[in-house]
Amino acid sequence: MTDTFARAHRAWFEDRLARLTAEDGWLNLAGRWWITPGRYRIGSGAGADIPLERAPEHLGTLEFGTGDRGRYDPAEGAPVDLDRAEGRFCWRDGDFLMEITTLNERRALRIRDAALPRDPGKIAFFPLDPALRITARWEDLPEPMDLVLDTVIGIPTRVPVTRRAIFDLGGQEVAFLPTYGTADRPQFVFRDLTSLDETYPKARFVFGEEVSGDRVVIDFNRAINPPCAFTPHAVCPLPPRENLLPLRVEAGEKRLAPRG
Protein backbone atom coordinates (compact mmCIF):
# COMPACT_ATOMS: atom_id res chain seq x y z
CA MET A 1 0.00 0.00 0.00
CA THR A 2 1.43 3.39 -0.98
CA ASP A 3 1.53 6.52 1.16
CA THR A 4 -0.54 8.20 -1.54
CA PHE A 5 -3.34 5.66 -1.11
CA ALA A 6 -3.32 6.07 2.69
CA ARG A 7 -3.30 9.89 2.44
CA ALA A 8 -6.21 9.84 0.01
CA HIS A 9 -8.16 7.64 2.41
CA ARG A 10 -7.48 9.97 5.33
CA ALA A 11 -8.66 12.95 3.29
CA TRP A 12 -11.81 11.06 2.28
CA PHE A 13 -12.53 10.11 5.91
CA GLU A 14 -12.07 13.70 7.10
CA ASP A 15 -14.70 14.74 4.56
CA ARG A 16 -16.92 11.86 5.66
CA LEU A 17 -16.72 13.01 9.30
CA ALA A 18 -17.35 16.64 8.33
CA ARG A 19 -20.55 15.66 6.50
CA LEU A 20 -21.69 13.34 9.30
CA THR A 21 -21.11 15.86 12.08
CA ALA A 22 -22.37 18.92 10.19
CA GLU A 23 -25.31 20.89 11.53
CA ASP A 24 -27.48 19.24 8.86
CA GLY A 25 -25.87 15.81 9.32
CA TRP A 26 -27.32 12.72 10.97
CA LEU A 27 -26.18 13.07 14.59
CA ASN A 28 -28.57 15.73 15.91
CA LEU A 29 -31.95 14.44 14.79
CA ALA A 30 -34.53 15.17 17.48
CA GLY A 31 -37.27 13.16 15.81
CA ARG A 32 -39.35 12.29 12.78
CA TRP A 33 -43.16 12.44 12.75
CA TRP A 34 -45.56 11.29 10.03
CA ILE A 35 -47.85 14.09 8.92
CA THR A 36 -50.98 14.41 6.78
CA PRO A 37 -52.81 17.61 5.81
CA GLY A 38 -53.64 19.40 9.03
CA ARG A 39 -52.39 21.71 11.77
CA TYR A 40 -49.52 20.78 14.10
CA ARG A 41 -48.40 22.66 17.21
CA ILE A 42 -44.67 22.21 17.84
CA GLY A 43 -42.97 22.74 21.19
CA SER A 44 -42.38 21.36 24.67
CA GLY A 45 -45.82 22.20 26.04
CA ALA A 46 -48.36 19.59 27.10
CA GLY A 47 -50.63 20.34 24.13
CA ALA A 48 -47.93 19.97 21.47
CA ASP A 49 -48.72 17.67 18.55
CA ILE A 50 -44.97 17.41 17.87
CA PRO A 51 -43.12 17.43 21.20
CA LEU A 52 -39.57 18.80 21.40
CA GLU A 53 -37.88 18.58 24.78
CA ARG A 54 -35.51 21.52 24.39
CA ALA A 55 -37.94 23.82 22.61
CA PRO A 56 -40.02 26.60 24.17
CA GLU A 57 -43.50 25.59 25.28
CA HIS A 58 -44.75 26.80 21.91
CA LEU A 59 -42.13 26.97 19.15
CA GLY A 60 -44.46 27.35 16.19
CA THR A 61 -47.32 25.88 14.17
CA LEU A 62 -47.14 23.94 10.92
CA GLU A 63 -50.12 24.13 8.60
CA PHE A 64 -49.65 21.35 6.05
CA GLY A 65 -52.04 21.25 3.12
CA THR A 66 -52.64 19.24 -0.01
CA GLY A 67 -50.37 19.55 -3.02
CA ASP A 68 -47.24 19.53 -0.85
CA ARG A 69 -47.77 23.12 0.21
CA GLY A 70 -48.00 24.62 3.65
CA ARG A 71 -46.98 27.35 6.04
CA TYR A 72 -44.96 27.51 9.23
CA ASP A 73 -45.86 30.22 11.75
CA PRO A 74 -43.18 30.62 14.42
CA ALA A 75 -44.07 31.96 17.83
CA GLU A 76 -41.48 34.64 17.12
CA GLY A 77 -40.52 35.89 13.68
CA ALA A 78 -41.94 35.87 10.16
CA PRO A 79 -43.99 32.98 8.74
CA VAL A 80 -42.48 30.67 6.13
CA ASP A 81 -44.36 29.49 3.04
CA LEU A 82 -43.63 25.87 2.08
CA ASP A 83 -43.84 24.43 -1.42
CA ARG A 84 -42.14 21.21 -2.45
CA ALA A 85 -42.33 22.03 -6.18
CA GLU A 86 -40.33 25.19 -5.58
CA GLY A 87 -37.81 23.52 -3.28
CA ARG A 88 -39.10 25.14 -0.11
CA PHE A 89 -39.53 22.13 2.14
CA CYS A 90 -36.75 23.05 4.62
CA TRP A 91 -36.67 25.89 7.12
CA ARG A 92 -35.18 26.95 10.44
CA ASP A 93 -36.51 28.27 13.72
CA GLY A 94 -33.72 29.11 16.16
CA ASP A 95 -31.71 25.97 16.86
CA PHE A 96 -34.23 23.77 15.07
CA LEU A 97 -33.76 22.76 11.44
CA MET A 98 -36.98 21.38 10.00
CA GLU A 99 -37.76 19.61 6.76
CA ILE A 100 -40.62 17.67 5.26
CA THR A 101 -39.37 14.39 3.82
CA THR A 102 -41.08 12.06 1.39
CA LEU A 103 -41.40 8.29 1.26
CA ASN A 104 -43.67 7.16 -1.54
CA GLU A 105 -46.89 9.07 -0.91
CA ARG A 106 -46.19 9.58 2.78
CA ARG A 107 -44.76 12.74 4.33
CA ALA A 108 -42.86 13.19 7.56
CA LEU A 109 -41.59 16.18 9.50
CA ARG A 110 -37.96 15.68 10.48
CA ILE A 111 -36.36 18.06 12.98
CA ARG A 112 -32.70 18.54 13.83
CA ASP A 113 -31.57 20.34 16.97
CA ALA A 114 -28.36 22.24 16.19
CA ALA A 115 -27.53 22.48 19.90
CA LEU A 116 -27.37 18.71 20.41
CA PRO A 117 -23.89 17.08 20.61
CA ARG A 118 -22.63 15.75 17.28
CA ASP A 119 -20.02 13.22 18.36
CA PRO A 120 -20.16 9.95 16.40
CA GLY A 121 -17.77 8.21 18.77
CA LYS A 122 -14.95 6.07 17.46
CA ILE A 123 -15.58 4.66 13.99
CA ALA A 124 -13.44 1.58 13.46
CA PHE A 125 -12.21 0.36 10.07
CA PHE A 126 -10.83 -2.79 8.58
CA PRO A 127 -7.18 -2.42 7.50
CA LEU A 128 -6.86 -0.63 4.18
CA ASP A 129 -6.67 -2.94 1.18
CA PRO A 130 -5.86 -1.31 -2.19
CA ALA A 131 -7.03 -4.48 -3.95
CA LEU A 132 -10.58 -3.63 -2.84
CA ARG A 133 -10.56 -0.38 -4.80
CA ILE A 134 -12.10 -1.84 -7.93
CA THR A 135 -12.65 -0.46 -11.41
CA ALA A 136 -15.92 -1.98 -12.60
CA ARG A 137 -17.65 -2.06 -15.96
CA TRP A 138 -20.48 0.48 -15.90
CA GLU A 139 -23.08 -0.69 -18.35
CA ASP A 140 -26.69 -0.07 -19.29
CA LEU A 141 -29.23 -2.67 -18.24
CA PRO A 142 -30.82 -4.52 -21.18
CA GLU A 143 -34.04 -2.83 -20.07
CA PRO A 144 -34.61 -0.20 -17.36
CA MET A 145 -36.30 -1.59 -14.28
CA ASP A 146 -38.30 -0.38 -11.30
CA LEU A 147 -36.70 -1.97 -8.29
CA VAL A 148 -38.77 -2.41 -5.11
CA LEU A 149 -36.60 -1.99 -2.01
CA ASP A 150 -37.60 -2.61 1.55
CA THR A 151 -36.60 -0.10 4.24
CA VAL A 152 -35.62 -0.42 7.89
CA ILE A 153 -39.15 0.63 8.89
CA GLY A 154 -40.80 -1.98 6.67
CA ILE A 155 -42.24 0.37 4.05
CA PRO A 156 -41.15 -0.67 0.54
CA THR A 157 -40.13 2.01 -1.93
CA ARG A 158 -39.73 1.88 -5.69
CA VAL A 159 -36.48 3.00 -7.34
CA PRO A 160 -35.77 3.29 -11.08
CA VAL A 161 -32.53 1.56 -12.13
CA THR A 162 -30.92 1.87 -15.56
CA ARG A 163 -27.31 0.73 -15.05
CA ARG A 164 -25.20 -1.83 -13.23
CA ALA A 165 -21.57 -2.25 -12.19
CA ILE A 166 -19.91 -5.55 -13.15
CA PHE A 167 -16.73 -6.66 -11.40
CA ASP A 168 -14.91 -9.65 -9.92
CA LEU A 169 -14.82 -10.02 -6.15
CA GLY A 170 -13.33 -13.01 -4.40
CA GLY A 171 -13.36 -14.99 -7.64
CA GLN A 172 -17.05 -14.31 -8.24
CA GLU A 173 -18.64 -12.01 -10.79
CA VAL A 174 -20.81 -9.39 -9.13
CA ALA A 175 -23.50 -7.28 -10.83
CA PHE A 176 -24.07 -4.37 -8.44
CA LEU A 177 -27.23 -2.29 -8.83
CA PRO A 178 -27.16 1.41 -7.89
CA THR A 179 -30.29 2.43 -6.05
CA TYR A 180 -29.78 6.11 -5.21
CA GLY A 181 -27.14 8.79 -5.64
CA THR A 182 -26.37 10.82 -8.75
CA ALA A 183 -25.01 10.10 -12.21
CA ASP A 184 -21.46 10.98 -11.14
CA ARG A 185 -21.79 9.48 -7.63
CA PRO A 186 -24.08 6.43 -7.74
CA GLN A 187 -24.91 4.86 -4.39
CA PHE A 188 -24.79 1.11 -3.83
CA VAL A 189 -26.57 -0.41 -0.82
CA PHE A 190 -25.08 -3.82 -0.03
CA ARG A 191 -24.63 -6.47 2.62
CA ASP A 192 -21.95 -9.14 2.91
CA LEU A 193 -21.11 -11.86 5.39
CA THR A 194 -19.23 -9.51 7.71
CA SER A 195 -22.71 -8.28 8.70
CA LEU A 196 -22.98 -11.43 10.82
CA ASP A 197 -20.29 -10.32 13.23
CA GLU A 198 -18.31 -7.19 12.35
CA THR A 199 -20.31 -4.71 10.29
CA TYR A 200 -23.73 -3.09 10.62
CA PRO A 201 -26.20 -5.98 10.27
CA LYS A 202 -28.69 -4.36 7.90
CA ALA A 203 -26.49 -2.84 5.20
CA ARG A 204 -23.60 -0.61 4.28
CA PHE A 205 -23.35 2.09 1.63
CA VAL A 206 -20.58 2.61 -0.90
CA PHE A 207 -20.51 5.29 -3.59
CA GLY A 208 -19.20 5.02 -7.10
CA GLU A 209 -16.33 7.32 -8.00
CA GLU A 210 -14.58 8.47 -11.16
CA VAL A 211 -17.56 7.61 -13.35
CA SER A 212 -16.41 7.84 -16.96
CA GLY A 213 -18.25 6.27 -19.88
CA ASP A 214 -18.27 2.53 -19.26
CA ARG A 215 -16.18 2.55 -16.08
CA VAL A 216 -16.86 3.30 -12.40
CA VAL A 217 -14.56 2.94 -9.40
CA ILE A 218 -15.97 1.24 -6.29
CA ASP A 219 -13.68 1.50 -3.27
CA PHE A 220 -14.89 -0.85 -0.54
CA ASN A 221 -12.38 0.78 1.83
CA ARG A 222 -14.89 3.64 1.76
CA ALA A 223 -17.94 1.51 2.62
CA ILE A 224 -19.80 3.33 5.39
CA ASN A 225 -22.43 2.77 8.04
CA PRO A 226 -25.82 4.11 6.89
CA PRO A 227 -27.58 6.92 8.78
CA CYS A 228 -29.84 4.42 10.58
CA ALA A 229 -26.74 3.04 12.33
CA PHE A 230 -26.42 6.41 14.08
CA THR A 231 -30.04 7.39 14.73
CA PRO A 232 -33.44 5.70 14.94
CA HIS A 233 -34.95 8.70 13.14
CA ALA A 234 -33.43 7.89 9.72
CA VAL A 235 -35.19 5.74 7.12
CA CYS A 236 -32.61 3.66 5.26
CA PRO A 237 -33.12 1.34 2.29
CA LEU A 238 -32.18 -2.31 2.50
CA PRO A 239 -30.09 -3.94 -0.25
CA PRO A 240 -31.64 -5.48 -3.36
CA ARG A 241 -30.98 -9.21 -3.66
CA GLU A 242 -28.37 -8.51 -6.37
CA ASN A 243 -26.29 -6.65 -3.77
CA LEU A 244 -26.33 -9.43 -1.14
CA LEU A 245 -22.81 -10.81 -1.33
CA PRO A 246 -22.17 -14.44 -0.25
CA LEU A 247 -18.65 -13.60 0.91
CA ARG A 248 -16.84 -11.38 3.37
CA VAL A 249 -15.83 -7.88 2.31
CA GLU A 250 -13.32 -7.01 5.01
CA ALA A 251 -12.98 -3.35 4.16
CA GLY A 252 -14.61 -0.11 5.20
CA GLU A 253 -16.38 0.85 8.42
CA LYS A 254 -17.14 -1.68 11.12
CA ARG A 255 -20.09 -1.69 13.52
CA LEU A 256 -20.30 1.24 15.89
CA ALA A 257 -19.12 0.52 19.40
CA PRO A 258 -21.86 0.69 22.08
CA ARG A 259 -22.05 4.13 23.72
CA GLY A 260 -21.96 4.53 27.42
pLDDT digits (tens, 9 = 90+) for 71-95: 999 999 999 999 999 999 999 999 9
Query: Do 171 and 239 share a domain, yes or no?
Result: yes
**Section 30-39 average pLDDT:** 96
- At residue 260, the pLDDT reads 54
**Section 156-178 average pLDDT:** 94
Percent of the chain with pLDDT over 70: 99
Percent of the chain with pLDDT over 90: 90
pLDDT at 196 over 90: yes
User: Based on the structure, what is the number of domains in the chain?
Assistant: 2
Domain contains 17:
no
> What does the DSSP assignment read for 51-104?
E-TTS-S--EEEEE-GGGEEEEEESSS--EEEEGGGTB-EEEETTEEEEEEEET
Query: Do 63 and 107 share a domain, yes or no?
Result: yes
Domain contains 1:
no
Query: Do 129 and 106 share a domain, yes or no?
Result: no
Query: Do 88 and 36 share a domain, yes or no?
Result: yes
Name the pLDDT band for 1 (thresholds 50, 70, 90). Answer: low
Provide the domain limits for residue 135. Answer: 122-243
Instruction: Tell me which of 34 and 120 has the higher pLDDT.
Output: 34
Query: Do 128 and 156 share a domain, yes or no?
Result: yes
Query: Do 142 and 37 share a domain, yes or no?
Result: no
pLDDT at 17 over 80: yes
Name the pLDDT band for 19 (thresholds 50, 70, 90). Answer: very high
- At residue 32, the pLDDT reads 97
Query: Do 214 and 101 share a domain, yes or no?
Result: no
Q: Mean pLDDT over all residues of the chain?
A: 94
For the beta carbon of residue 97, count every other beta carbon within 10 angstroms: 19
**Section 220-239 average pLDDT:** 96
**Section 210-226 average pLDDT:** 96
- At residue 93, the pLDDT reads 96
| Contact (Cβ atoms closer than 8 angstroms) between residue 129 and residue 115 | no
**Total-model pTM:** 0.91
What does the alpha-carbon distance between residue 221 and residue 228 come to, in Å, rounded to a whole number? 20
Residue 228: strand pairing partners: none
